[in-house]
Amino acid sequence: MIRVGLADDQRLFTAGLAMVVDSQPDMSVAWQAGDGAEAVRLQRSDPVDVLLMDVQMPGTDGLSATRTLVSSGAGCRIVVLTTFDTDEYVVEGVEAGAAGFLLKNTPPEELLAAVRTVHSGDSVVSARSTRRLLQHVRPLLGGSSPSAPLDRDTRRAAESLTPREQEVLTAVALGYTNTEICERLVLSMPTVKTHIGHILAKTGSRDRVQAVLFAFRAGLVDREDLLREA
C-alpha cells in the first residue's frame, strides 16, 4: 500500500485529491496538511511514501518544506504541485530535491500514475510539464539557444556521455517513462536503468528532473523538439 500525504492550503482541492487517491486499491491518504510546516511535522511523526506538495502556501511554503525534508533525509518522495506561475519556483523546486512536477490541473489518471511512478523510485517529468518547465527556466539557465557556447563543465559532461546515453537522456527530457524508453529504443528495463544511473553520475544530476535541465542546457533538446512531441 502506498501511503500518500497531501499538503495544500486549499482544503477543497485536497479533499477532492484525497477522494481520487483513496479510490485506488493500492494507495491511501495518510494525512492532509495545510502548510509546509505542518507537512514537515506530520511526515516526521507519521511518515508517508509519497508527498504531494503545493508550492504556494501561507507560512512555510512547499519549496521550503521540500528543502527541509530532503536535507533531513526524510524517506518520502515529494512531487511539487504547481501552476508554474513564477519562474524561480521551478528552479528552486529542482534545487530543493523534488522528485517531479505536476500541474494542478493534471487529469486524475495521470496523477495516480505519477504517484506510482515516484513510489517505484523514478521521477515524474511529463512531456507537458517539461515543456512548461523549460519555457520558464530557459532565460534563467543562460544561453538562449542550443548553439550558444556551453560552459566548460557542461561541455565536458555532455562529451562524456556515450551515444546511447545521449539517446536515453534525450528520451527522458522529452518526457518518456522508463517503460516507454524501453519500447522506443528496444532496450531492457535493467539496461535503461543502468544508462540513467550513468547519466546522473556523469552530469552531476541528483535526479531525473535535474537531468532534464542538463539536457536542455547542453542542447540535446530544444523547444522545437518538445513541441514536436506534443
Q: pLDDT tens digit string along 80-95?
A: 887 754 445 555 666 6
pLDDT at residue 148 is higher than 70: no
CATH 3.40.50.2300 residue spans of the chain? 2-121, 148-228
pLDDT at 224 over 70: no
Tell me the pLDDT band of 228, cut-offs 50, 70 and 90.
low
**Quick one: pLDDT at residue 160?**
97
* Lowest-pLDDT range of 2-11, 42-51, 146-155: 146-155
pLDDT at 126 over 50: yes
What value does the mean pLDDT of the chain take? 83
Q: What is the pLDDT of residue 141?
A: 47
List pLDDT tens digits, range 191-214. Answer: 999 999 999 999 998 777 778 878
CATH (one of 3.40.109.10, 3.40.50.2300, 3.40.50.300, 3.20.10.10) for 148-228:
3.40.50.2300
1-10, 103-112, 121-130: which range is least confident on average? 121-130
Q: Residue 21's pLDDT is what?
A: 97
pLDDT tens string 37-73: 999 999 999 999 999 999 889 999 998 999 999 889 8
Q: What is the average per-residue pLDDT within 108-122?
A: 88
pLDDT at 182 over 60: yes
Instruction: Indicate if the pLDDT at residue 74 is higher than 60.
Output: yes
Chain segment 152-175, per-residue pLDDT in tens: 888 999 999 999 999 999 998 887
d(CA 169, CA 68): 29
Cβ neighbors of 194 (< 8 A, separation 6 or more) are: none
Cβ atoms of 89 and 63 closer than 8 Å: yes
pLDDT exceeds cutoff 80 at 33: yes
Q: Which CATH class is domain 2-121?
A: alpha beta
For residue 187, what pLDDT band results from cuts at 50, 70 and 90? very high
Dihedral sign, Cα of residue 25, residue 104, residue 134, residue 204: negative
Question: Would you say 7 and 38 are in contact if contact means Cβ atoms under 8 Å apart?
Answer: yes
Task: Give residue for cell 528532473.
Answer: 209
Residue 32: pLDDT band with limits 50, 70, 90: very high
Mean pLDDT of 125-153: 56
